[in-house]
Amino acid sequence: MTSQSANVVVIGGGVNGASTAMHLARMGAGRVLLVEKGHLAGGASGRSGAMVREHYLHPTLVRMAQEASAIFHNWQDAVGGDARFTQTGRLLLWGQNDADAVRANVAMNRSLGVEIELLTPSDIAEILPILNTEGVAVGAYEPNSGYADPMATTYAYAQAAQDRGAEILTGCAVTGIRTAGGKVVGVDTDDGPIEADAVVAATGPWVNRLAAPLGETLPVTPIRVQMVHLRRPPSLESLDTAVIDNTTGAYFRTNAGFKTLVGGEAPGDLEEVVNPDAFGLNADHDTITRYWDRARFRFPGFAAATQMGGYGSLYDMTPDGNPVLDKSAAVEGLYWAAGFSGHGFKLSPVTGRMVAELVMHGECKDHPVGDFRAGRFAEGDLLTGDHPYEGRAHQ
Ligand SMILES: Cc1cc2nc3c(=O)[nH]c(=O)nc-3n(C[C@H](O)[C@H](O)[C@H](O)COP(=O)(O)OP(=O)(O)OC[C@H]3O[C@@H](n4cnc5c(N)ncnc54)[C@H](O)[C@@H]3O)c2cc1C
C-alpha cells in the first residue's frame, strides 16, 4: 500500500474527485490522497457526453458554468495537459410549450454575460437546412459550446494533482468511513486503513454505500442511461454542431470523426433505477431504435445512417437534478460531492474548487455553495430555476 495516512482522502477518481484533489493540492491542503476502486474515469466520467455549455436556468449555475467554460477554453494554462476541448457551438430546440420559459431564461443568461441568441424556426432552417424544424417554436444558439474528451480531462486533473504532490491509489475500494467522537479519522479500504483528517466522498451513484452506515442517506438514485452511436451518411457529414432537441428529448454531438452520439433525456429515458455494480453496459435494442427514430425525425438524413450500437452508463440523480456539495451532517471532517445528475462534467473545474474551499475554509469564496446543501431537499428549498422547461429531469 502506497500510503497509510493523509491530510485529506478524496474517494472517487471521476472528474469531480480528480478536480477536487487537484484543487486541494494546489491550495496546500498537505498530503492529498485520491482513492479509486477501479481506474480513473471508470465511472460515469469516462462515458460522459462531456458537452460544455453555459446556458442554465439558475444564476448560480450560469455563473459556475461560465467560469468552467472559460477553463475548458484555456485548459493548458488553467489545468495543464489537454482536455481535447472542441468548440462546435450548440443549438437548442423547443416546442411552443416552453417558448415563454426559453425567452425568460435566455434573457437571464444574456444579462449575466452568456453569449446565446434566440432563433426562430426560419433562422434555424437557414443556418442548418439539413434539420427538419417541425414542432420547433423557438431555438437558441451558444457559439462557445463544445465537448471535451472526458478520459483525457480526468487524467489531466490527476496529473495536475500529482504535480502538486497528491498521490493516487487506483484499484483500492473504500469500504467504510472511520470515525471517533463524531469526527472523521480516516477510511477503511480493501487494502487496509488510511488515517485522514478530512475525507471527501466524490463517489457518484455509490455515495450511499458510504453514507448510509453513518445514518445519513443522501437522496441520490442510480439511474441507467443509454447512448447510441450512428455513423453519419455523406449528407450529414458536415453536422458537427451539438443539438439539444427538447421536443423529443434527444441530444446529438459529433464523436470520433463522422459518428454522432445520440443521448436521451425525455422523462421515460431516465426511469431505470439500477444497482450501480450490476447494470447493462450495452445499449438495448429498443432504445437504439427509439433514439434512431428521434434522430431521423429531426435530421431526415439519419435514415441512411449506420447504427453502430451503444452503451449504458449511470446518472446519480437527485430530486432537483443538482449535486450535493456539503459537509456531512453526521460526521465532522467528512464532505459529500455527489449527485451530479447527468451534468457534472462541464462543472467539474469549478465544483472541484468549491469543494476544496469548503474543506479548507468552511465556505466557498465566490459561489454560494450553500445552494447545494444536502438539507435543501428536506427543507423543500430545491435548486431550480424560475422558468423550468417541461419534462426535463435536469435543466
Ligand atoms: C451518458 C452520459 C452523458 C453525459 N453527458 C454529459 C455532458 O454532456 N455534460 C456534462 O456536463 N455532464 C454529462 N454527464 C454527466 C457527467 O459525466 C457526470 O456528472 C460526471 O462525470 C460525474 O463525475 P463524478 O466524478 O462525480 O462521478 P463518477 O465519474 O461516477 O466517479 C465516481 C468514482 O467513484 C468511484 N468509487 C465509488 N465508490 C468508491 C469507493 N467506495 N471506493 C473507491 N472508489 C469509489 C467509482 O469507481 C467512480 O470512478 C453525462 C453522464 C453520462 C452517463
Which amino acid is residue 369, in one-letter code?
Answer: V
CA 87 to chain centre: 18
State in Å: Cα 99 to ligand 1 middle: 32
State in Å: Cα 128 to ligand 1 middle: 33
pLDDT at 241 over 90: yes
- Mean pLDDT score, 227-237: 97
User: Residue whose CA is closest, atom 2 of ligand 1?
Assistant: 48
Phi, psi of 129 (to 5 degrees): -65, -15
State in Å: Cα 14 to ligand 1 middle: 5
Which pTM value belongs to this model? 0.98
Question: Average per-residue pLDDT in the chain?
Answer: 97
State in Å: Cα 255 to ligand 1 middle: 19
Residue among 51, 69, 188, 203 to mutate when testing ligand 1 (max atoms within 8 A of CB)? 203
pLDDT at 342 over 80: yes
Cβ of 343: how many Cβ atoms within 10 Å? 21
- Mean pLDDT score, 226-231: 98
How far apart, in whole angstroms, are the C-alpha atoms of residue 121 and residue 104? 18
User: Got the DSSP string for 148-198?
Assistant: --HHHHHHHHHHHHHHTT-EEE-S--EEEEEEETTEEEEEEEBTEEEEEEE
Domain boundaries, the chain: 5-48+151-218+320-379, 88-145+221-317
pLDDT of 389: 94
Atom of ligand 1 nearest to the CA of 337: 26
State in Å: Cα 339 to ligand 1 middle: 9
Residue among 10, 177, 340 to mutate when testing ligand 1 (max atoms within 8 A of CB)? 340
**CATH T-level topology, domain 88-145+221-317:** D-Amino Acid Oxidase; Chain A, domain 2 (3.30.9)
How far apart, in whole angstroms, are the C-alpha atoms of residue 31 and residue 236? 51
pLDDT of 1: 46
Phi, psi of 191 (to 5 degrees): -120, 15
Residue among 10, 20, 45 to mutate when testing ligand 1 (max atoms within 8 A of CB)? 45
Task: State pLDDT tens for residues 277-321.
Answer: 999 999 999 999 999 999 999 999 999 999 999 999 999 999 999
User: Residue whose CA is closest, atom 19 of ligand 1?
Assistant: 344
Local confidence band at 257 (pLDDT 50, 70, 90 cut-offs) = confident
Task: State pLDDT tens for residues 159-208.
Answer: 999 999 999 999 999 999 999 999 999 999 999 999 999 999 999 999 99
Using an 8 Å Cβ cutoff, are 344 and 323 in contact? yes
pLDDT at 3 over 80: no
pLDDT of 393: 61
pLDDT of 4: 86
State in Å: Cα 314 to ligand 1 middle: 8
pLDDT at 2 over 70: no
pLDDT of 394: 64
User: What three-state secondary structure class fits 307?
Assistant: strand
- Mean pLDDT score, 99-110: 98
Cβ of 223: how many Cβ atoms within 10 Å? 22
- Mean pLDDT score, 90-100: 97
How far apart, in whole angstroms, are the C-alpha atoms of residue 344 and residue 346? 6
Beta strand extents in the chain (DSSP E only): 5-11, 32-35, 51-52, 86-87, 90-94, 117-119, 138-142, 146-147, 167-169, 174-180, 183-189, 192-201, 221-231, 242-245, 250-255, 259-264, 272-273, 306-317, 324-327, 334-338
Taking Cα atoms as reference points, which of 90, 109, 110 lies closest to residue 49? 90
Residue among 40, 48, 175, 225 to mutate when testing ligand 1 (max atoms within 8 A of CB)? 48
Local confidence band at 87 (pLDDT 50, 70, 90 cut-offs) = very high
| Phi-psi label, residue 300: left if phi above 0, alpha if psi -120 to 50, beta otherwise | alpha
With b meaning 16 or more CB within 10 Å and e meaning fewer, what string describes 240-274? Answer: bbbbbbbbbbbbbbbbeebbbbbbbbbeebbebee
Atom of ligand 1 nearest to the CA of 342: 15
Cell of 227: 447512448
CA dihedral (278, 209, 216, 205) in degrees, to 10, reads -50
Phi, psi of 126 (to 5 degrees): -70, -45
Answer with the residue of higher pLDDT: 363 or 267: 363
Cell of 371: 445552494
Contacts of 345 (CB under 8 A, 6+ apart): 15, 45, 48, 49, 50, 51, 52, 148, 150, 153
- Tally the C-alpha atoms within 13 A of residue 262's C-alpha that lie toward its C-beta: 34
Q: What is the domain class of 5-48+151-218+320-379 according to CATH?
A: alpha beta
pLDDT at 240 over 60: yes
Q: Please, what is the Cα angle at 380 between 377 and 383, to 5 degrees?
A: 70
**Ligand 1 neighbours by CB, cut-off 6 Å:** 11-17, 35-38, 42-45, 47-51, 173-174, 202-204, 206, 209-210, 225, 227, 263, 313-315, 340, 342-346
User: What three-state secondary structure class fits 238?
Assistant: coil
Could you give the C-alpha distances from 116 to 49, 92, 169, 389, in angstroms and in order?
Answer: 21, 10, 41, 17
Using an 8 Å Cβ cutoff, are 29 and 220 in contact? no
State in Å: Cα 340 to ligand 1 middle: 8
